Each structure stands twice: as C-alpha cells, then as structure tokens.
Amino acid sequence: MSMPKEPRQLMINLMYLVLTAMLALNVSSEILHAFKTINQSINQSNNSIQSKNQELYDLFDENEKQPGREDRVKPYNDRAKQVRAQADEVMKYLEEWKEKIIIESGGYTESGEIKAESNIDASTKLLVEKNGGDEIKEKLEQLRDLMINSVDEKDREKAASSLPLRITEPEKSDNNPQGKWSVGTFYNMPVMAAITLFSKMQNDVRNSEAQVVKQLFDESYSSTLKFDEIAAIAVPQTSYALVGQKVEARIMLAAYNKSVAPNVSTLGGGGKISKVENGVAYWETVTAAVGQQTVKGTVSINMGDRVETKPWEFQYMVGSAGGSIQLDKMNVFYIGVDNPVTVSAAGYSLEDVYLDMPDGEIKGDDERGKGAFNIRVTKPSGPQGVKVAIMAKAQGGAKEVGALNVRVKYIPDPIAQVGGQAGGYMSSAKFRPQIGPAAALLNFEFDARYIVTEFSYSVMKRRDPDIKGPYKVVNPKGAVFTANQDIMRMQADLKPGDRVFIDDIKARGPDGRVRSLNSLSFTLN
C-alpha cells in the first residue's frame, strides 16, 4: 500500500494504526491475566497433590514397620521413594527454568510483579535458540520412563497409557518445518504463558507421581494372600504320655484360602500327601517301624509375585502291645560288630526303656534316636539263642516288659580274592601290579573287615629251563606281595601261560578269630 500524499489522509491512517495497536494491547492484557489466574490455580493444585502424596508415603512407612510385613512392603516402598526423589528433582528443575525466563525478560518490578509478562523473546532465546527445550524434554522423558518401570511388569502397559506426564510431538508446519518439540512448545511464547506451561508440567509430574505411588502401594498389598476360610486346630506337643505326666497343646485359628491349593511335599519320615482339597493338604501313612517317628516337609503357596515356602514337622509314636525288639539288619547277632536294634514298649516312655542280656555290651544309638541301641556280643549261643530282655523303669523299680531270644553266631568266612577274582584266567598285565590277596565278605549286611595275615605263593612257569622243578614256592607272612623280595621278582617276571598258586591263606576277622580261606589258582593270558 502506498502512503497517501494528502496530510488529512495520512493522519487518518496513522490514527487507524494506533487504534489497532491499542486494541491488540488490550486483548494481550486480558489473555495474560487469564494465564496468570490459571498459573495460580495450578500451583494451588500442585500443593494439594503434594500433601496427599505425603500422606501416602507416611502410610507406606507405617505398613513397612508392621510385624511380618517388612519383607513384602519394603521393596515397593523403596521404589516409591526413588520415584519421589526424582519427581522432587524435576519439580525443582522446572522451577529454576521459570526463574531463568523471568530474569531473561527483565526480572521483577519493585512490587514483585513480572516486568515483561508479554515478552516473547526470552522463551524463544533460552528454550529454542539455546536448546533449553531439548534438555527439558529429555528430563521429562527420563522421569516418565522411571515411573513406568517402577511398577510391576504386568502393569507397565496400563501405566504408560494413563500417565499424565507425556511428551506429544507437534506436527510439522511453516514455522516448525522439522516438527521439533521445543519449537512447537516455546517459540514466540509470552513469558506469562511459559510460566503457566511450566506449572502445568509440574502438575503432570505430581499427578503422575501420585498415580505411580498408589499403584506401588496396591501392589504391595496384592502380594498378601487373601484368606477366605478359618478353622480351629489343636496341636498336641506330644502324641504319647504316661500317667502323671503333663500334656500340652497349642490351640489356634488357622486361616486359609480354599481356592489356592498349596504345594505340599514330604522330605523325611515316610507317608504321602493323599490329596489337597479346599486349600488343605491331607497326609497319611501305614505304620511299620515301632518307636518315635518324625515326619517333615515343606508347604509352598503362590503369592502372585513370588512363591512362599515354609517347613513343617511333627512327631508321633508307634507302639505295640507290651514290648518288642526289631532287629534292624539280620535275625541273628554276630560277634565282633555292632548289631543295631530298635525297641518299643507300649505304655512307657522310650527314655525309660533299656535292654538287658548276658555277655552283651549295649549302647544307645544317638544318631538313630530314642529306642535305638547297638549290641556287641562275644561268644556264640546254642540253638535256643540268648535272651534279650526289655526293661522299663516304673514305680517300685525296673521290670521286664518283653523279651526276645536271639541266636549269636560268628561272622561268616570271607572269600579270598586277587583283583576281585577268586581264581581263573587273568591277563599277566593285570596280575603283575596286584598288591596281594584280599579277604572279601560278600553280601554281608555289616561293615566287617578281614585282614590277611599269611599265605604261600608259587609260580609254575610255562617254560623255564633254569628251574629244576615245576614250582618256585615262597611262604611269606603278611598281606602284600611287596613285603617279600622273591615274590616281587616273580611278579615282575610273570608272562602269559604262567600259572600262579596262592595257598594257605589265613585272615583275622573283627571277632579276633583267624580263619583259613580258600586257595587261589590263576592262569595268565
């Protein structure tokens, strides 16, 4: 438009421009006032949200201190405290940016008001040209990621979709051809509008903090099993007592969930879990051995985010009419070894029961528990056996409550072997390094050993023109070939086709008797 040359028209045009500017200034003032009002309202809302968040943090701490809840609540409370610390840091960070923009625009008046609320250069310079907006975006995204990852994995997708704190990328335009968030958010934004926008970001931070902490609080409670049934249970401290003894029991209410089936296993004491029904497991067994029995195992329940496993144990007594003895290994006693037995006596505590027998040494077996004994005998019995009496302490003295006749025998003779063989064919390469004959007790229940004391050793060479007779015989004392130089030389010279004879083998057993064992004959190949 060309400028008019007439002074009157020029004045009219200038007045029109001034009026338009005045109208624009009036609209800007109203808009800025609206921004100031909104900013004050958002700040009040932030303070209210922070107050409610503090109440939730205090409740979190109280729950963690409750007996039996620390292990469940503490991991969630620790995550909540981490969210709180990061949220506080971002709140302070955004507050500092408010101050930077106000200072850049000219600061405050003497009355404390912002001097240039309509200034659009400060936000553009600091947040767009100097890339301050990119830094703010990164801070907000880091806080959002932390909050989402703080909740349980199964709840993260829901949290990501509902969290107020989020970054929305602007569409590309003539003023923002690259579609940058900092340009679309802060370019040419008046100071008062920028301050209000930062307050809105702070509001999103506090609202998101409240949502995440509430979620963590709910998750800490979801890990607690909800019980829907109770039952009265009485558990005696002992399942066996004598007249005059104290009997104690624990009586309690047990809470359980009928819809949650525990996983119950037995680790010792026999028996089996017959069924698990309505949240209760049932154990059963058929008694066999007499005496006190201990049953133990574990019970596990799925708590949602973890599996809780607890041990359980109980004891019961198996008795019989009168007294009885169970021979734990064989139906005889063997001389020279511990013969284990288990004793029971109905109507008497095992602590008051003991054994008595002639020519026998009886000791309690602490490893196997009460009612278990080891018996050592020194001489064999006749066909009728020896009497083993079960004695019990009672009022007026000890009395016999049962008995058993048991035959006493020597330990069986062992079998002489070399290299695990009692004769036959063996390679010369295998026979040469053998150290001597051994006395082996085969298929014998007890831990009994025989020691070879002497033997004779002879070799018949397949061809040996230097030997006048067919044999070269050595009669050593001891249990090994290496104790005799002649045997060592003969062993080293063994070849396929030679025959080795080991005779007159004697061995001493744990009962002290020396036995004569079988002869050994080996053909080497």
Instruction: Quick: pLDDT tens for 128-149.
Output: 999 998 999 999 999 999 999 9
Question: Region 170-189: what's the mean pLDDT?
Answer: 86
Rounded distance between C-alpha atoms, residue 198 and residue 190, angstroms: 12
Query: Among the listed ranges 30-39, 300-309, 456-465, 510-519, which one has the minimum average pLDDT value?
Result: 300-309
Query: Among the listed ranges 21-30, 297-306, 379-388, 445-454, which one has the minimum average pLDDT value?
Result: 21-30
DSSP 446-482: S----EEEEEEEEEE-SS-TT-SSS-EEE--BSS-GG
Q: Report pLDDT for 504.
A: 92
pLDDT grade for 118, boundaries at 50, 70 and 90: confident
Q: Report pLDDT for 23.
A: 39
- Tell me how far apart the terminal alpha carbons of the chain are, to the nearest angstrom: 128
pLDDT grade for 234, boundaries at 50, 70 and 90: low
Residue 1 predicted with pLDDT over 50: no
pLDDT grade for 94, boundaries at 50, 70 and 90: very high
Q: Report pLDDT for 28.
A: 64
Q: Give phi and psi for 338, each to the nearest 5.
A: -75, 125
Residue 329 predicted with pLDDT over 60: yes
pLDDT in tens, 240-269: 554 455 666 667 677 766 666 788 888 777
Query: Among the listed ranges 11-25, 116-130, 202-216, 498-512, which one has the minimum average pLDDT value?
Result: 11-25
Residue 225 predicted with pLDDT over 60: no
Which residue did the predictor score with more confidence, 509 or 469? Answer: 509
Q: Report pLDDT for 247.
A: 62
DSSP 154-206: GGHHHHHHH-S----PPPP-SS-TT--HHHHHHTT--HHHHHHHHHHHHHHHH
Residue 110 predicted with pLDDT over 50: yes
Of 344, 403, 406, nearest in space to 371 by CA: 344
User: How far is residue 301 from each of residues 43, 259, 310, 313, measured CA to CA in Å?
Assistant: 48, 11, 9, 17
pLDDT grade for 301, boundaries at 50, 70 and 90: confident
Whether the Cβ atoms of residue 524 and residue 496 lie closer than 8 Å to each other: yes
Of 455, 422, 418, nearest in space to 438 by CA: 418
Which residue did the predictor score with more confidence, 12 or 113? Answer: 113
Q: Report pLDDT for 223.
A: 54
Rounded distance between C-alpha atoms, residue 100 and residue 89, angstroms: 17
Question: Region 329-344: what's the mean pLDDT?
Answer: 85
Rounded distance between C-alpha atoms, residue 444 and residue 334, angstroms: 11
Q: Give phi and psi for 400, each to the nearest 5.
A: -80, 125
Query: Among the listed ranges 347-361, 391-405, 465-479, which one has the minimum average pLDDT value?
Result: 465-479
The pair of three-digit structure tokens given for residue 120, joined into one six-digit string = 């659009």
Query: Among the listed ranges 165-179, 246-260, 321-335, which one has the minimum average pLDDT value?
Result: 246-260
Of 277, 236, 235, 267, nearest in space to 254 by CA: 235
Quote the crossing angle between the two packed helices 132-150 and 191-222, to the nearest 10°: 10
Q: What is the pTM of this model?
A: 0.44
pLDDT grade for 185, boundaries at 50, 70 and 90: confident
How are strands ordered across the β-sheet holding 291-302? 263-268, 291-302, 307-318
Q: Report pLDDT for 16.
A: 47
